[in-house]
Amino acid sequence: MTESRLSAADFHLGSGSYLLNHSVGRPLKSAEAAFHRDYFEPWQQQGEAIWPHWLQAIDGFRAALARLFSVSAEGFCPQSNLSSGLTKLVMALPELARAGGKVLLSEQDFPTIGYVLQHALPGGRDQIRYIPVSADVTDPDVWADAMTAEIRLVFVSHAYSNTGQQAPLAEILPLARSRGILSLVDVAQSAGILPLDLSRQAPDFVLGSCVKWLCGGPGAGYLWLSEARIAECEPKDVGWFSHAQPFEMDIHDFRYHPGANRFWGGTPSVAPYAIAAHSVARLVEHGIDVIRAHNLALQRQVIDALGERVVSPRTEAQRNGSLILHVGARQTQLAPALAAAGIAIDERASGVRVSPHLYNSAEQMAQLVEVVEGIG
């Protein structure tokens, strides 16, 4: 079924200008009815048949992700969040089971990645290698130099939230394959704003969530595994839904599910996936490329007006969905001034983060520019 394109009127936006989409996307108004249909109605009306309806809602979540990333739905396993999925994956990879295999990541990655790896890897910190924060993660040569013979897994954030940078996946992933290095892509900050075809880019693993640009709320995380890698993964954190036949109910006999579900675990949550399935499907139907084009147009408006006060990359292919603003000595005045004007943003050490979505407008960007120019 084809629905009309989305507009700002289709979202719960509140007052003011909401530019915090790198943190939490705004909910679709239609999500409430979809959630009631797929979650509450089966609970209210069904007897023993509740779970088939609920599992169908989770299948809908997988199907929406499959359309988003242009791959089969069977490769996705729901996860509560990215940290949990990363823990399960790292502990399941034979290449990392011995302290000799190293993991490469950037010091610009979200801190939870470092926390997980320090505890999930048998060698802890000794198994981690970092691209320094001073290095340009948009430069393929930086990755090439860092992917040395000791690296067994490279962790790549598609989008870096504190700098507005985008990693060059098209160069990193083939290079990793040519050197026999596994690749894991974090799409938490890019899914829904940067189009990504996994069938073409072909990483080994992907981790993500739906709370940001996908407007799906917290709790709907996911792990994707390439078909070629599933059989070699032996998760330690398992449950009855990780079983090849979950309803056999033989306590003495566990066999891994042949597919991605081996990473699922025990009785699954349903509500987060019922919400996210609807939101992801609607955004995909609207078109992620359309959303990105709108995002870039609004970014260009701000860049053209503010010039060097935008410290994100100038090249569009190196820039993700967010702009980082810094006004030098008067930076401490910027976030309070924007908040006073009803513009929702947040701030990191790199600067104020501004992330326009499909429901943001040129008029809102003009207001943003006016406030920033009033600071200096």
| Average pLDDT of the chain to the nearest whole number | 96
pTM as predicted: 0.96
Strands 351-354 and 323-325: antiparallel
Q: Measured in whole angstroms, how far is the alpha carbon of residue 345 from the centre of its chain?
A: 19
Residues 198, 303, single domain; the answer is no
Local confidence band at 97 (pLDDT 50, 70, 90 cut-offs): confident
Kindly state the average pLDDT of the residues 90-106: 90
Can you give the pLDDT at residue 229?
96
pLDDT at 327 over 60: yes
Residue-wise DSSP of 265-331: -SSPP-HHHHHHHHHHHHHHHH-HHHHHHHHHHHHHHHHHHHGGGB-S-SSGGGB-S-EEE--GGGH
Residue 99 lies in a domain: yes
Give Cα separations from 79 to 19, 350, 364 (angstroms). Answer: 27, 30, 35
Q: Where are the beta strands (DSSP E) in the chain?
A: 17-18, 76-79, 102-106, 128-131, 151-157, 159-160, 165-166, 182-186, 205-208, 221-225, 323-325, 343-344, 346-348, 351-354
Angular region, 169: left φ>0, alpha ψ -120 to 50, beta rest: alpha
Kindly state the average pLDDT of the residues 175-204: 98
Can you give the pLDDT at residue 3?
57
Can you give the pLDDT at residue 98?
75
Residues 273, 299, single domain; the answer is no
Kindly state the average pLDDT of the residues 118-135: 96
Q: Return phi, psi of residue 102, to 5°.
A: -105, 155
Residues 152, 301, single domain; the answer is no
Q: What letters, b where the CB count within 10 A reaches 16 and e where it falls short, cover 187-218? A: bbbbbbbbbbebeebebbbbbbbbbbbbbbbe
Strand partners, 28: 11
Residue 176 lies in a domain: yes
Kindly state the average pLDDT of the residues 61-66: 98
Residues 233, 340, single domain; the answer is no
Residues 189, 234, single domain; the answer is yes
pLDDT at 16 over 80: yes
Residue 3 lies in a domain: no
What is the CATH classification number for the domain harbouring 319? 3.90.1150.10
Residue 11 lies in a domain: no
Kindly state the average pLDDT of the residues 110-121: 96
Q: How far apart (Å, rounded) are the C-alpha atoms in residues 241 and 4?
A: 37
Residues 262, 336, single domain; the answer is no
Residue 107 lies in a domain: yes
Residue indicated by tokens 């190196």: 318
Can you give the pLDDT at residue 231?
95
Can you give the pLDDT at residue 1?
42
Kindly state the average pLDDT of the residues 50-69: 96
SS3 176: helix
**Of 285, 315, 334, the domain-final residue:** 285
Can you give the pLDDT at residue 48?
74
> Which residues, 6 or more positions from 277, have their beta carbon under 8 angstroms from its beta carbon?
34, 38, 57, 58, 60, 61, 63, 64, 216
Residues 360, 238, single domain; the answer is no
pLDDT at 2 over 80: no
Q: Return phi, psi of residue 105, to 5°.
A: -150, 180
pLDDT in tens, 234-275: 999 999 999 999 989 999 999 999 999 999 999 999 999 999
Provide the domain count of the chain. 2
Local confidence band at 49 (pLDDT 50, 70, 90 cut-offs): confident
Question: In terms of pLDDT, which residue wins out, 100 or 19?
Answer: 19
Contact 264, 241 (CB under 8 A): yes
Q: How far apart (Å, rounded) are the C-alpha atoms in residues 192 and 359?
A: 13
Within 10 Å of residue 145's Cβ, how many Cβ atoms?
Answer: 11
Say which amino acid occupies 107: E
Residues 188, 305, single domain; the answer is no
Local confidence band at 86 (pLDDT 50, 70, 90 cut-offs): very high
Q: What percent of the chain has pLDDT over 70?
A: 99
Give the torsion sign (CA, 312, 316, 319, 321). Answer: positive
Kindly state the average pLDDT of the residues 329-348: 96
Residue-wise DSSP of 204-221: SEEEE-SSSTT---TT-E
Q: How far apart (Å, rounded) are the C-alpha atoms in residues 116 and 286?
A: 35
Can you give the pLDDT at residue 100?
78
Say if residue 45 is exposed, middle or buried (CB neighbours under 10 Å; 0-12, 13-18, 19+): exposed
Residues 86, 221, single domain; the answer is yes
Q: Residue 6 has what DSSP assignment? A: P
Domain coverage including residue 268: 37-285
Say if residue 128 is exposed, middle or buried (CB neighbours under 10 Å; 0-12, 13-18, 19+): middle
